[in-house]
Amino acid sequence: MKAVSCWKDGEKWYMIRDEDGVFSHAVATKDEAISDGCAVFVELDEPRFLVRDESGRGYASETNYSDFTAEDREHIEDEDEPDDTFGEWLDNSSAGDEYENTDENYTVIRIN
């Protein structure tokens, strides 16, 4: 069995795959993966994002996935027409994807 790290719902998880590569289940810790029989671990880098201030101050910073708070993750850009929360966007984004928070005037761009 193999455990592949992933980032979901603001935390690191391990996706357990059988010998054929078929997804079996997810666990929250490496110890749980070991107790489920995993001998191979694939550790992927934590997603990183560029957070850019759009108010004209020219501020930008690199932020790790786990640095976003639960409050940040709950943000919905347009509550009249809700799509995804910011947290759902974080979980499903790919490198180069951009999220614009017009309420607080910043943009988040996925780096990796």
Buried b (16+ CB within 10 A) or exposed e, 31-64: ebbeeeebeeeeeeeebebebeeeeeeeeeeebe
**Same structural domain, 30 and 69:** no
Whole domain around residue 75: which residue ranges?
Answer: 48-110
Which whole number is the average pLDDT over 79-103?
A: 87
**Same structural domain, 67 and 102:** yes
> What is the three-class DSSP state of 23?
strand
pLDDT in tens, 16-62: 999 999 999 999 999 999 999 999 999 999 999 999 998 888 899 99
Q: What percentage of the chain exceeds 90 in pLDDT?
A: 80
**Same structural domain, 74 and 89:** yes
**Same structural domain, 83 and 106:** yes
**Same structural domain, 34 and 72:** no
How many structural domains comprise the chain? 2
pLDDT in tens, 2-18: 999 999 989 999 999 99
What is the pLDDT at residue 102? 87
pLDDT in tens, 44-53: 999 999 999 9
| Residue 4, token pair as written in the block | 């592949």
